[in-house]
Chain A
Amino acid sequence: AQTVTQSQPEMSVQEAETVTLSCTYDTSESDYYLFWYKQPPSRQMILVIRQEAYKQQNATENRFSVNFQKAAKSFSLKISDSQLGDAAMYFCAYRSHGGSNYKLTFGKGTLLTVNP
């Protein structure tokens, strides 16, 4: 079974600075998806960014980018120019590509605080 580990329960960053959230995963599969979801205090789960394992290029979405290291099974999220609205719980998630296991496996989350 796949597992996702987020080793940083909490992180903080100054507004306008850059922060990196860590995620590692364990799998024997070669093709899969990785995601970062954001959960603000409203509790809604919001997709931040997605990476297909077969793509070597790291995904980017505006101020959000990932560092995907397939061999190391590492998938970190970098937030540049942090804003107060980035404060939230961030979840790393894994999903198999095709096959019969369709569920998202989540890490336990990293609570990000943005200081003004």
Chain B
Amino acid sequence: AQSVTQLDSQVPVFEEAPVELRCNYSSSVSVYLFWYVQYPNQGLQLLLKYLSGSTLVKGINGFEAEFNKSQTSFHLRKPSVHISDTAEYFCAVTLISNFGNEKLTFGTGTRLTIIP
């Protein structure tokens, strides 16, 4: 079975500073990787995903993530954060299979707080 670890439950960052949110996964087979964001009082929104190809993936709102197979990591980065980036960020994986309905397995989430 696959699993996801987000070691940092809370990350405070000053406005305009860079940020990295860490995600490591475990799986015996190949996976697809995702980052979802949850703004206050809203549902989860897809930030970016890695399915295949270039290991550097760019998403919405200036975020990017790099898939590192040897490190089994998919860390999320942004070079300069804004107050509006304050949210909960979830890393997730799903198995690669012919069955398109595979479930997502989520990490525990990282609460990003931007300090003015």
A joins B in a complex: no
Using a CB–CB cutoff of 8 Å, the interface residues on chain A facing chain B are none
